[in-house]
């Protein structure tokens, strides 16, 4: 079993959060629930910024 560094674990966690947030976004669009759509959009932006910061950190 392999070991993963803290940075690798953070990237995996952020990627998982991004996938689940996108899935929630699709189902909210199907139900026309606009407040959760805006909240999910903000969540997706924060996750992308976190991934960018994790990858760019030296």
- So what's the pLDDT on residue 42? 92
Q: Which domain holds residue 52?
A: 6-56
Predicted TM-score of the model (pTM):
0.67
Q: Is residue 48 in a domain?
A: yes
In this predicted structure, the answer to whether residue 1 has a pLDDT above a threshold of 60 is no
Q: How far apart are the first and last CA of the chain?
A: 27
Q: Is residue 42 in a domain?
A: yes
Q: Is residue 34 in a domain?
A: yes
Q: Is residue 1 in a domain?
A: no
- So what's the pLDDT on residue 49? 92
User: Which is nearest to 43 in space by CA: 27, 26, 21?
Assistant: 21
- Looking at the 3D structure of the chain, how many domains does it have? 1
Q: What is the largest CA-CA distance in the chain?
A: 44
Tens digits of residue pLDDT in 17-56: 999 988 888 888 888 778 888 888 899 899 999 989 988 8
- So what's the pLDDT on residue 19? 92
């Amino acid at each position: 079993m392999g070991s993963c560094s803290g940075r690798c674990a953070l990237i995996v966690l952020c990627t998982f959060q991004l996938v689940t947030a996108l899935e929630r976004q699709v189902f909210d669009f199907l139900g026309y629930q606009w407040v959760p759509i805006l909240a999910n959009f903000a969540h997706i932006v924060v996750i992308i910024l976190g991934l960018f910061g994790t990858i760019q950190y030296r």
